[in-house]
Amino acid sequence: MQRKREWIIKNLMIVIVIGFIALTILVLLDPLPNIDKEFSAEVQEHSNPLLDTIMRALSWAGYTPNSTYVVAGVIIIFLLCRYWREALFTLLSALSALVSTIVKLLVNRPRPGAPLVHVLEKTEQQSFPSGHVIFYTAFFGFIIVVMHRRREIPKFLRLLISSICLLLILLIPLSRIYMGAHWFSDVTAGSLLGMICLYVLGYFYLKK
């Protein structure tokens, strides 16, 4: 059963890697496909002040220096609990930002802008892939892995933390598109690359 699960995960990761490479090539060949413009228009069509506030709040943890505070806070909690391995790998999860920066520089895709989208908050770095989505997938995804492994933590707390982390991972792509910071292909690539980073982290963390 364990070997079958590992086989499924490895093959899934191969598909994810191929998907990310294929998407990157497509964006290099066609920097602004119609699906990106249409998806952004559809999402931003429902904009209102309340949603603006919610989407800003969802993206808060991905901005610098906020992401540093969040990572440092979780590391301190793990250290206080004497979860030394978890603290180390939480720190390593922050390297997903470096991965994001390298790919952004290589692809060099401009950010969305007026009149194609309404930009709620202007950002600096290149657009592809979404650094927020990569970070959320790798960092919050790793916390979910920890909650699955550390069975001595009360079940209610593990489920609560895992649910919050999963919700953030699922909603951050929508937040970035809504705020006019990224295209659909940016956040899709971010999710794929984030899962690759999470797989590498999880592999070495769970390895005996």
Over residues 62-99, the pLDDT tens digits come to: 998 999 999 999 999 999 999 999 999 999 999 999 99
Residue 48 vs residues 23, 115, 129, 173, 179: alpha-carbon distances, Å: 31, 18, 26, 18, 11
> How many whole angstroms separate alpha carbon 76 and alpha carbon 72?
6
Mean pLDDT of 178-205: 96
Dihedral pair phi/psi, residue 190, rounded to 5°: -60, -40
5-9, 15-19, 74-78, 189-193: least confident range? 5-9
Report domain extents, the chain.
2-206
Count each helix (H run) and each strand (E run) in the chain, helices first: 9, 0
Over residues 106-146, the pLDDT tens digits come to: 999 999 988 889 888 788 789 999 999 999 999 999 999 99
Mean pLDDT of 51-56: 94
Mean pLDDT of 168-184: 96
